[in-house]
Amino acid sequence: MPRNRQIIQLSKQEQSSLTKILSSGKSTARGQTRARILDLLHRREHPQRIAETLRIGIATVYNIQKRYLSEGLDAALTDKSRSGKPPIIKAEEKAKLTALACAEPPAGYARWTLRLMADKAVEFGFIESSSHNKVGKILKKTR
């Protein structure tokens, strides 16, 4: 079933914004492609031909067109923010782990091991639970 073809009519200001994006080269590749899609749709190119020319999926053309018509130019050119998974161990807790690594090891130990650090961090209440692998990754990132 073919989709209904909706005409995109960009204002002069939107056209100049797209021209600036396409000529400056400072935006992301995805942003450049989206700007080209909108420019070609404004020039009344067929979506199938746009998809073939830019080597993208036809659904991408229709999605950008739909987003422009419903939300405007800025929404069509940029991604929506994604919440993502919140970090399990926060910066303060990472700092405490780093400080623990710099401290003297407990009596009976010559040095800190990752397993010992993970156990002591839980014992001292820095973090609720952790594995030695996670502690190693945190310390590796903090050097």
HEC readout, 31-82: HHHHHHHHHHHHCCCCHHHHHHHHCCCHHHHHHHHHHHHHHCHHHHHCCCCC
Q: What is the pLDDT along the chain (143 residues), one digit of tens a residue?
A: 566 677 888 899 999 999 999 898 788 899 999 999 999 999 999 999 999 999 999 999 999 999 999 999 999 999 888 888 887 788 888 889 889 889 999 999 999 999 999 999 889 888 888 888 888 888 887 76
Q: What is the pLDDT of residue 12?
A: 92
* Pairwise CA distance, residues 133 & 115, whole Å: 8
Q: Is 9 exposed, middle or buried (0-12, 13-18, 19+ CB in 10 A)?
A: exposed
Q: What is the pLDDT of residue 128?
A: 84
Q: What is the pLDDT of residue 104?
A: 93
pTM above 0.85, yes or no: no
- Contact call for residues 48 and 58 (beta carbons, < 8 A): yes
Other CB atoms within a 10 A radius of the CB of residue 131 amount to 11
- Contact call for residues 21 and 35 (beta carbons, < 8 A): yes
Q: What is the pLDDT of residue 135?
A: 87
